[in-house]
Structure 1
Amino acid sequence: MVRIRDTPAWRMYMRLASPVFTGAPGEDAYKFIVSMHEILHTAGITDTLRFYYVTHRFRGGAKAWWRDNLASRQAGAHPLTWEQFYGVFLARYVPCSQRDERRGQLFDLRQKGMLVATYALSFSYLDRHSYPLIPTETGRIWWLISGLDGSLQLPCVQLEDKGTSFQAIVDCAATVEAAGARAARPQVEILDAAIEGIISIRGQSATIL
């Protein structure tokens, strides 16, 4: 039997900058688990082995907790699936109330006049803290687009139909937003000039009177 550490996937994984997790108070458990998920996806690690790679990065209290967890499992029990491990990890390190709060905020998030950059940043933060509510890249893209202001949605939908990345959609929306701002500027300048002219005329009239 080939050991996991002798496989090409392990060698690729070791070349990636994987974070460590100690379980210390204030440590961002969500950031760790989502970062590891992305790294393992890049390395082509299958779901059945992902928990092994994640726990390899445990240190201190987290490592002791995981050893206790393994010791409490019945002999001959099936290995944990990724979903099972993820659920156990969250139950230990992320309060349910915090997860529910972030998911509720993500459900309610809409651009509503925010700059695209601000909206995308808010989306990414809540998405990271709601994982695996939107487990796929395609799902994240469509969720992001659905919350954009109406004038920005169509160009992004057309781009998504051709196959693209989440960041490309953000860039597309920001480009359309900037173009709209440039197009609106002459109209604003004309309106400002008209207002200044009216004020000037009224001032002259008052002087004459």
Structure 2
Amino acid sequence: MAGRNNRAIANALQALAQAIGNPNWGEAGGAVEYQGLDHFQRNNLLSFNGGYNPDAEYWWENTRQCLEAEGQDMTRDVFKRVFLEKYFPEDVRNKKEMKFLELKQGNMTVAEYATKFEELVRYFPHYQGRNGESSKCVTFLNGLRPEVKQAVNYQGVH
């Protein structure tokens, strides 16, 4: 069973590598914004059936062995963390964070704003789970247009 999961992970890495190519440069050599992170985070890695890449499997096997030697349990969250650290540059993560921190409702509907908010908030683990829910709500409310925010506050929605 473990070999099968490792194969699925290796296949996911291969497909992702093929999909993103070089995430920092377009065909004309200019910088482009990376879009593959969204695609990666929407995939269910346990059921992903991509191509096979021995380099990806080699990376995963070495990484898994190092993590197990450190006593870390091999969970989906651990895999996701080490994968993102390895394959998504810090500048890309910083751009996503800046987009999130600067997000305001502006001319969007509340539904559009909520969708964009949820799309960006998933990049920030400190907003995930029960502990982050309160901060997530405060950040969401602060991005609403003043008249919408006032109506929400008046209703006592938290």
Do Structure 1 and Structure 2 share a fold, with TM-score over 0.5? Answer: yes
* TM-score when normalising by structure 1: 0.45
Give distance in 2, aligned partners of 1:117 and 1:98. Answer: 26
- Could you say which structure has the larger radius of gyration? 1
| Other-structure match for 1:164 | none
Contact 2:64 2:74 in 1 (8 A): no
Contact 1:29 1:93 in 2 (8 A): no
In the TM superposition, 1:3-152 aligns within 5 A as: 21-22=12-13, 23-26=16-19, 28-33=36-41, 60-61=52-53, 62-71=56-65, 73=66, 76-80=69-73, 85-128=79-122, 130-136=123-129, 138=133, 139-152=135-148
Give distance in 1, aligned partners of 2:69 and 2:60. Answer: 18
Contact 1:111 1:148 in 2 (8 A): yes
Aligned residues: 124
Deviation at 1:32, TM superposition (A): 3.5
| Higher RCO (C-alpha 8 Å, min separation 6) | 2
Q: What percent identity do the matched residue pairs reach?
A: 20
Code of the residue aligned with 1:153 in structure 2: it is K
Code of the residue aligned with 2:84 in structure 1: it is L
Note the residue ranges of structure 2 that are not aligned, 5 or more in a row. 3-10, 21-35
Deviation at 1:33, TM superposition (A): 4.0
Deviation at 1:131, TM superposition (A): 2.8
Root-mean-square deviation over aligned CA pairs: 3.5
Deviation at 1:98, TM superposition (A): 0.6
